[in-house]
């Protein structure tokens, strides 16, 4: 009976470790900093911003960065930018982690262009 409890705990801990390794992080920064950041259409804060999710391989996020006096920056980033070695190893034992074998780059930098006001001379 005690052996079954230990096996159950070991399996549960293994699953927790594998699922937490399936998360991917990236830091979104901009020049200038402290710009408004919209992720998938929702305002999430200002840059720099740390994004973390459990989405599967190939998932794409759209971002919009706004700052007064600058053009709006629209971009995307996808969960296919780098290999997650932990998920790759876990995938050999449990096939499910293969859905998380890729991750985001550690950081994404976007440079906003100033709005140029033309004057008629």
88 domain-assigned: yes
* Nearest CA-CA partner of 102 in 59, 61, 62, 63: 59
43: tokens are 């305002």
H helical segments located in the chain? 2-21, 85-93
Max mean pLDDT range (37-51, 70-84, 106-120): 37-51
Higher pLDDT, 21 or 31: 31
- The string of pLDDT tens digits covering residues 73-109 is 999 998 876 666 665 555 555 555 555 667 788 999 9
Residues 39-54 have a mean pLDDT of: 95
d(CA 41, CA 100): 24
Residue 39 belongs to some domain of the structure: yes
Distance CA 43, CA 88 (A): 33
Structural domain boundaries enclosing 78: 2-111
Give me the number of domains the chain comprises.
1
pTM of the model: 0.70
């Amino acid at each position: 009976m005690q052996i079954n409890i230990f096996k159950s705990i070991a399996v549960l801990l293994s699953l927790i470790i594998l699922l937490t390794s399936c998360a991917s992080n990236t830091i979104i920064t901009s020049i200038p900093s402290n710009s408004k950041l919209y992720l998938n259409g929702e305002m999430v804060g200002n840059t720099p911003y740390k994004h973390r999710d459990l989405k599967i391989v190939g998932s794409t996020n759209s971002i919009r960065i706004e700052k007064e006096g600058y053009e709006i920056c629209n971009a995307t980033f996808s969960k296919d930018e780098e290999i997650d070695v932990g998920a790759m190893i876990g995938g050999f034992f449990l096939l499910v982690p293969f859905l998380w074998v890729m991750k985001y780059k550690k950081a994404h930098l976007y440079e906003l262009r100033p709005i140029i006001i033309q004057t008629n001379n």
